[in-house]
Copies of this chain bind each other. A is one copy, B any other.
Amino acid sequence: MLSTMQDVPLTVTRILVHGTLVHGSSQITTWTGEGQEPHRRSFAEAGLRAAQLAGALRDELGVEGDQRVATLMWNNAEHVEAYLAIPSMGAVLHTLNLRLPAEQLVWIVAHAADRVIIVNGSLLPLLAPLLPRMTTVEHIVVSGPGDRSLLDGSHARVHEYEELIADRPTTYDWPEIDERQAAALCYTSGTTGDPKGVVYSHRSIYLHSMQVNTAQSMGLTDRDTTLVVVPQFHVNAWGLPHATFMSGVNMLMPDRFLQPAPLAEMIVSEQPTHAAAVPTIWQGLLAELTAHPRDISCMKTVTIGGSACPPSLMEAYDKLGVRLCHAWGMTETSPLGTVANPPAGLTAEEEWPYRLSQGRFPAGVEPRLIGPSGERLPWDGESAGELEVRGPWIAGAYYGGANGEDFRPADKFSEDGWLKTGDVGHISPDGYLTLTDRAKDVIKSGGEWISSVDLENALMAHPQVAEAAVVAVPDAKWGERPLASVVLKEGASVGFAELRAFLGESVAKWQLPERWTVIASVPKTSVGKFDKKVIRRQYADGELDVTEL
């Protein structure tokens, strides 16, 4: 028995048309620097300009079918227009991560076969030197201030964004699109191997946008303004540009002004009710506000993700009247996987374990925990396993393998198609996820798992330790054992035996590392996470000065 419902596809086009018409008066405000009047553009105007952009890409630049159109841009109104226009015309939006190493950027552009790059003028110093090696690129469209002469002599045709779209029709005959077609492409900045492309569909973006807008997740409405600090090149700015256009949520866009002082400035000036960014941003802003106090309590809720938020940071913002709310996700999950809203009826004290967890899963993200021997683990709040997830906005493959077909590496996807997140943790009986480790950072010692993160946190609690990274190293007897590498504070005088004894106060004896080393700093990835593979390689190559206790 078939339903009698209309068969209407879930597409970015619907989001574009809806936001333009129903929420035409909502605003995209782009910061333009201290003392400058911010740039303001209504959804109605952005929607009409998106139609002009689509027309220009098709008629002037010859974009057709599902060709990739890349962006190398900050968060601003023009980038939102690209988010709407490119998928709606049937092409594929490819957001380039401007923090990636140059080699990876060149590799990604070639892999995606980008024909067009829309770039902010301020990023030309980054793009111009790489452009000669980006041979698939035929057109560069430049938006905003910056030195165009850097592109002189380029093999690509250079266009001015505003000139390109000016005087074009403000309507576009948007094609009917199958909701499972590609809409956007994003490469993971993994620390091993080549970057891997995740291709979002119109359907996944539409469903993810609805999820972002549920009261359970970010809960934004047309009465809100969200400060989108998380970059649009970082997993679609957590889905916000599409979700906001779907519900008429006003956007405050920082463009390139991501330093603490301008962020404080734009919050005070524009009074957003919500914001989204990684913990580092909120650490920086807190220091700024400590030095120069300002009232930022307009932001009732801040969604924080990318890495775990230190409890002290949440407490500090609680005092400022701003609630930091954990969310967990990854490029492969669109990214919304969990959001940490505590249950009702708890005291502030009782809420802490829930707020520090990664949060609860929505219906669209089905989880399971897989133990060290591949067994399915119970949700008892204790059993730790690797998290695997399934759902309509979760990747089931990566784009374009060696033979040109999508590929499913066995360490990333289970045989029955679930995504292996590479995150290790436990789930409580009431469905709250707590992550403790990356799977590759867990130490498999004699059939048991040791959490490297637990050891690191315990070590970093020592007053003379600045940073600590614990990695698994091969061990003849136990399979693996932990290696503790510590960064000492200036003038520190503590010895390894003392650190080991300190660790023994909070960690089981069999988990205590035998191998110790002092390092100058913990290696970091391009997005600021601990890059443990570097330490493992240094250990394997004998480059570290290791003491055995």
Contact = CB atoms under 8 A, between A and B. Distances in A.
Interface of A: 1-8, 10, 14-15, 17-19, 21-25, 66, 92, 180-183, 197-201, 203-204, 207, 210-211, 213-216, 219-224, 246-248, 341, 343-344, 360-364, 366, 379, 390-399, 406, 417, 419, 429-431
A392 B7 CA distance: 6
8 contacts: A2-B182, A4-B199, A4-B399, A5-B200, A7-B180, A14-B364, A213-B214, A215-B215
A277 B393 CA distance: 34
B390 A6 contact: yes
Contact of A222 (B199, B216, B366): B216
Contacts of A394: 5-6, 8
Given A4-B397, A14-B366, 19 more contacts: A2-B406, A3-B199, A3-B200, A4-B395, A5-B201, A5-B396, A6-B390, A6-B395, A8-B394, A14-B364, A18-B363, A19-B363, A22-B361, A215-B219, A215-B247, A216-B221, A216-B247, A222-B343, A223-B344
Q: Which 10 A-B pairs have the closest CB atoms?
A: A3-B201, A22-B431, A223-B344, A6-B396, A1-B66, A215-B219, A1-B182, A18-B363, A4-B397, A4-B199
A2 B180 contact: yes
A366 B246 CA distance: 12
B22 A183 contact: no
A224 to B, nearest CB: 8
Nearest to A17: B366
Nearest to A433: B22
B8 A390 contact: yes
Contact of A221 (B8, B183, B204, B341): B341
A408 B83 CA distance: 37
Nearest to A399: B4
B396 A7 contact: yes
A8 B391 contact: yes
Nearest to A206: B363
Contacts of A6: 390-392, 394-396, 417, 419
A181 B215 contact: no
A182 B4 CA distance: 8
A395 B8 CA distance: 11
Contacts of A198: 4
Contacts of A17: 366
A246 B216 CA distance: 10
Contacts of A207: 10, 210
B430 A24 contact: yes
Contacts of A379: 21
Contacts of A248: 216, 360
A149 B360 CA distance: 48
Contact of A223 (B4, B5, B341): B341
A203 B396 contact: no
A216 B222 CA distance: 7
